[in-house]
């Protein structure tokens, strides 16, 4: 095998890995969308015993905690990659904290998302609701992408910050379109 042939095979393998890595997160988001769209809403679903407006308030508070955890994740990631001025290199405990906070955030998101999908499904009745539905589906697609990218040593280095940014962005849009909206008297600026 010549060096040129070897390089082509490695490049082809990377392109295939990126394509497959992109397909799974997109498939995850689409599967959640289709499930939510074909689901009959069950408005009496409880979230940790709370129903109706109490469940909405509880989800808004949990969503705010989730958004706070996402901000912590962002700061830890910036520290790990040396993007925070005046901080020394991140220790292994910072990396471990990033993983623990990430998994805790994921676990916190699951009951919130389950309640949303079961209670309301996926809806497109207004700009806010449409934005929230799309961001909710994108959240889990971005999570799958980030886990795949973190586990791979053969993908381009820019994919990890891109997947992390997509995940942070989805959480931010979810918080803005639901938690802020609910905690702000059912209004959000520009929605």
- 27 confidence band (pLDDT: 50, 70, 90): confident
Beta-bridge mates of residue 50: 47
Percent of residues in the chain assigned helix, strand, coil, to nearest 5: 75, 0, 25
- 4 confidence band (pLDDT: 50, 70, 90): low
Task: Give me the residue label for tokens 């989805």.
Answer: 170
Domain boundaries along the sequence of the chain: 3-183
* pTM (two decimals): 0.85
DSSP state of 126: S
Distance from C-alpha of 150 to C-alpha of 164, rounded to nearest angstrom: 10
Residue 7, pLDDT > 60, answer no
DSSP state of 50: B
């Amino acid at each position: 095998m010549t060096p040129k042939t070897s390089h082509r095979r490695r490049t082809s393998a990377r392109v295939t890995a990126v394509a497959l890595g992109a397909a799974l997160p997109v498939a995850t988001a689409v599967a959640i969308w289709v499930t939510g769209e074909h689901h009959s809403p069950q408005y009496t679903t409880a979230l940790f015993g709370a129903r109706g407006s109490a469940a909405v308030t509880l989800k808004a508070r949990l969503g705010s905690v989730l958004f706070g955890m996402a901000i912590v994740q962002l700061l830890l990631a910036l520290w790990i990659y040396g993007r925070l001025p005046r901080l020394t290199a991140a220790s292994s405990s910072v990396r471990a904290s990033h993983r623990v906070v990430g998994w805790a955030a994921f676990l916190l998101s699951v009951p919130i998302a389950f309640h949303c999908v079961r209670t309301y499904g996926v809806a497109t009745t207004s700009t806010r609701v449409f934005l929230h539905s799309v961001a909710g589906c994108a959240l889990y697609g971005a999570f799958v992408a980030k886990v795949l990218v973190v586990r791979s040593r053969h993908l381009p280095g820019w994919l990890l910050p891109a997947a992390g940014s997509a995940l942070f962005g989805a959480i931010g849009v979810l918080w803005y379109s639901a938690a802020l909206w609910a905690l702000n008297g059912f209004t959000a600026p520009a929605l």
